């Protein structure tokens, strides 16, 4: 029941998994690859992180990138790969670039997507990750570009890129990135429904560490249907990646950054999201929970067992 406090005080970070297939694509790497944990924070009068107990979604007005306030990075006239993690407790980020250029979207939670795509903005909830390429080719030295988030009429600046050096690099991003099967709802053996209610209930029940709420047969594909009518819930599943197949109500569509393999999907107020999931690697006990950390701490979690 202390995850929210621990993460707000800084207990979060990255690990990155690479393989030979990804290396063969010649994506920006080394100095041209930047892992970015973006988050908000609340500070006390001395500038120290301050966590307030009892809030349904803790946050604050100070934006941090890799723990740095008013973050700035010097860049060359080249393409940069940004691996972005929403490391906040509850804040949604609607990411965009101040110069109006689009992100080249190449990956998300589970790795590279099937193909690249250009998007002007990206909305991610806590625990979601996106992998994008940002192009500074052709920018004059001295150009400043801001990575920012805009929502509900308010804009927060996150990270300023300052072009400081002219270089000549040829790093085209391939159109095809990986091979991912396309799952269809007709392949699902059964459907399970999950209602996320208030700040602590899944299907009307708070978490009980000693209770197993359902069992999932090993290797069988299922359709899981997530609904809510009261708040935003980033839904995170342990033990397997899933594919998002539909969203009705609310925003009413599946977004490019929700393709491929996901382990967290943003469920906004009034939405129903269907995902296809199959546990075919390990049997055992797992969790599904809301990754709005104060909701998780209050009991919006459920044990299930793969058998």
Which of 53-62, 101-110, 122-131, 213-222 has the weakest average pLDDT?
Answer: 53-62
pLDDT in tens, 63-94: 999 999 999 999 999 999 999 999 999 999 99
DSSP character at residue 182: -
Please state the three-class secondary structure of 93-137 as a single string: EEEEECCCCCEEEEEECCEEEEEEEEECCEEECCCCEEEEEEECC
pLDDT in tens, 204-233: 999 999 999 999 999 999 999 999 988 899
Q: Do 89 and 7 touch, CB atoms closer than 8 A?
A: yes
Residues 6+ apart with CB under 8 A from 131: 81, 82, 83, 84, 105, 106, 107, 108, 112
Distance CA 234, CA 212 (A): 22
Distance CA 53, CA 40 (A): 16
Residue ranges of domains in the chain, CATH in brackets: 3-165 (2.60.40.420), 185-306 (2.60.40.420)
Nearest to 126 by CA among 289, 301, 246: 289
pLDDT in tens, 16-33: 998 998 999 999 999 999
Q: Do 210 and 229 touch, CB atoms closer than 8 A?
A: no
DSSP character at residue 6: H
pLDDT above 70 coverage of the chain, percent: 100
State the pTM of this model: 0.94
Burial class (CB in 10 A: 0-12, 13-18, 19+), 273: buried
Q: Do 207 and 299 touch, CB atoms closer than 8 A?
A: yes
pLDDT for position 54: 73
């Amino acid at each position: 029941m202390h995850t929210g406090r621990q993460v707000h005080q800084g207990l979060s970070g990255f690990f990155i998994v690479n393989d030979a297939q990804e290396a063969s694509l010649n994506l920006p790497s080394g100095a041209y690859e930047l892992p970015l944990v973006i988050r908000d924070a609340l500070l006390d009068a001395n500038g120290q992180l301050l966590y307030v107990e009892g809030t349904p979604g803790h946050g604050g007005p100070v934006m941090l990138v890799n723990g740095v306030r008013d973050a700035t990075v010097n860049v060359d006239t080249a393409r940069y790969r940004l691996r972005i993690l929403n490391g906040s407790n509850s804040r949604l980020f609607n990411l965009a670039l101040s110069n109006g250029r689009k992100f080249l979207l190449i990956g998300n939670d589970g790795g590279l997507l099937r193909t690249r795509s250009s998007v002007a903005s990206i909305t991610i909830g806590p625990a979601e990750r996106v992998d994008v390429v940002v192009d500074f080719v052709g920018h004059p030295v001295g150009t400043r570009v801001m990575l920012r988030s805009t929502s509900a009429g308010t804009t927060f600046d996150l990270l300023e890129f300052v072009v400081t050096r002219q270089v000549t690099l040829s790093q085209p991003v391939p159109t095809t990135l990986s091979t991912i099967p396309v799952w269809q709802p007709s392949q699902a053996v059964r459907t399970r429904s999950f209602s996320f209610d208030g700040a602590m209930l899944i299907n009307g029940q708070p978490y009980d560490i000693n209770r197993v709420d359902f069992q999932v047969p090993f290797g069988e594909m299922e359709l899981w249907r997530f609904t809510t009518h009261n708040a935003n819930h980033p839904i995170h599943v342990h033990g397997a990646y899933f594919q998002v197949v539909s969203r009705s109500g609310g925003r009413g569509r599946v977004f490019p950054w929700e393709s491929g393999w996901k382990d967290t999907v943003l469920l906004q107020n009034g939405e129903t999201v269907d995902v296809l999931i199959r546990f075919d690697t390990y049997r055992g006990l797992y969790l599904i929970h809301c990754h709005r950390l104060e909701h998780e701490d209050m009991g919006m979690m459920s044990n299930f067992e793969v058998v």
